[in-house]
Amino acid sequence: MTDAILRDLRHAVRGLIARPTYALITVMTLALVIGAATAVLAAVSATLVRPLPFPYGERIAQLFLMPPGQSEWTARNPLSLGVFLRFRQNLKQVESVEGLWARERALGGRPSLSR
């Protein structure tokens, strides 16, 4: 069995030496695929497998407003600051409620009047 493996290996090496462009493309493709798989696995590990980097990460919840009669996840809307402040003020059995809003910024043009 080892003789057959060595014979196949010698045959493969001779074929790669005879076609160096094919060998280079094959090695580069393998490197690209291995690198992409490593990056995907690292992202999955960092976001889904490892716990969050602060205590009680399992107690975090994300809040959205749903239009009346809608049950689709895509119909959700973020809380406005006013709704969030009223929500936080009326909660009695929660230790802490914090908010985070992403804002779009324009790099040029006239500044908007709303803030």
Please tell me whether residues 40 and 11 are part of one structural domain. yes
The verdict on residue 103 lying in a domain is no
Are 45 and 62 members of one domain? no
Task: Kindly state whether residue 65 falls inside one of the protein's structural domains.
Answer: yes
pTM: 0.45
Whether 95 is covered by a domain: the verdict is no
Q: How far apart are CA 104 and CA 92, in angstroms?
A: 33
Query: Tell me: the pLDDT tens digits for 17-68?
Result: 999 998 899 999 999 999 999 999 999 998 888 877 778 777 788 888 888 8
Q: Provide the domain limits for residue 27.
A: 2-49
User: Does 43 lie in the same domain as 7?
Assistant: yes
Number of domains in the chain: 2
What's the confidence (pLDDT) of residue 74? 76
**Chain centre distance of CA 32:** 20
